[in-house]
Chains A and B, each alone.
Chain A
């Protein structure tokens, strides 16, 4: 029970070698089997996520949600999938057929690539890359590419404008995300997700850098293109943006990719800041980490859904203003403060260290709020009294 994946691998390897298969080829075969199993788990989870999403949004909106098909509507996603499969698969006139078909595949693939580096438990993970944090940014870049391919190949002005906005959004919010991803790397000294999870055994990083967790949450929601940053694909805004010309299972791939991406980012927040698979009893039985990981990832996903169904949509110029004029300087100042405090406090024992970093975070947060307040006051004096609401929204 200590190392289930390792034991399974050794047993299967011995079995294959005893059949006469070459060592290297059986290694590749077993890797392929592992990839298929991991992707299957991710996609089955995705189906479950559709149900959770619909139930949670219903409860937030004070209604029941799907409850006809199966107990508590639990077979609703299967009905959705059957509906998507039997819909007509249109390709718009004048579209670039190869690129049009490639875009949803790339979009879902870029999310599944992220599952390769998630440490689900200390002994259950895809691969322990030593550049895992940067790999996450790279997979996000492929997602950005798929958006612009979808928007361009649809031969539709609304799709193109929606794709432009979405790409502008995604590449703008990558900057605070990358800067914040540097912070666990500073605290741990490694970019590997497994090492980051392992070094949170004593205290979670959210106690040490809560501001960074907050900024990562905001930029993750913006990267996903979810509300409140979903101007680019809201149906009442731009007629669902780059999704317009996609119907049937292609749209299903986009939708599934978005939900899985949201869950994966919930998992990242839990790994980077909330301890990942750590919890009581994990050192004796590492497989228990799987349970803790999924609970924490679900809580992270629930927070993302909570923000989505509570906050109204933000306009595109406000979105970009918020990023470039607030989040980028803020995240860089968090980075500098964390680096300085980590270096100066690293000799002391744990309670002094945690307390010192937390105090520094609170001081920085208070200074930021005071600066924002002063700016809002100045803006209010400049505008008329009845546009005070606009001033408070833009700052």
Chain B
């Protein structure tokens, strides 16, 4: 009898110890960094991320995963997942009252960050705990704000990019530099232009929305329904007037940017685009794009934004997740992914805050060959508008353009 009680007690204790509650997870923020690193050792951290680019996947698998294992004893498990799907899944977990999420951290920005804050499913603030956060350029408004929302330590900046249009200079001598020229060009070259319906395409639409609004200032701040209605109507009119000259007469659009890149690479269209202004170089180096591919930014400007790492509030391994974040913003990891041959993603670190040896390295990163340097396109960088603009554009693009 006593043995049975003892065994049941052990079982009960094990069950109680198996899952953390929110209070215990909040206590993570009270630990010192050394304690966090100690707790993280041996943990398996699940990171849900978009896996649509083979080079990014290779960087994560070949550099980040082994780096974390060697330096911190943390095993990083990468799983595929995209913004809205992940939020939906986390919502279902909350509905089911699940104490521990299936994911520890997510690659997010913008509307995903907004939605996760809405349902209060992000751990934070936590970035102040990361030793490498002292190098982050929080003075840069493109990093400090995510879709007009201050990050406030609830997500850790990871990279910074600007939307660029990519074309083949062997076939296109004078690429259109504004929307009027774009309309003229597509009419003269029917079937040779399109954009995707996911993040990159929506970023392109937002850039055009700014143009209709007369510039960045008009759409800054919280979502304004009247402004959205007014300027989006102009945007839909513009697109519908030239839609017939798009690829497949505008009756369908590539589902994602990878498909758009494939169409460009196979010669079906003359343009593609990327949220990453440095992507053209690494695609050319891979042999996917022709050597004559070039990138540029519209005269009216394109959106520059940062992407981030968030830690799920109900993460099973918050310590491990924080160690992963700290590794990702280390000078080594940031330097590696900035190389065009690896990823070409912009760094979120302030070079002048880095140790001297790293300042030297960052200043001598191989320069872009097929895209203009960031300094040249920075004056035409536009801040992301509030998340609801993207949410509304995503819905209305389907109704006002695709289904018309």
| Chain B associates with chain A | no
> Which residues in B have some Cβ–Cβ distance to A below 8 Å?
none
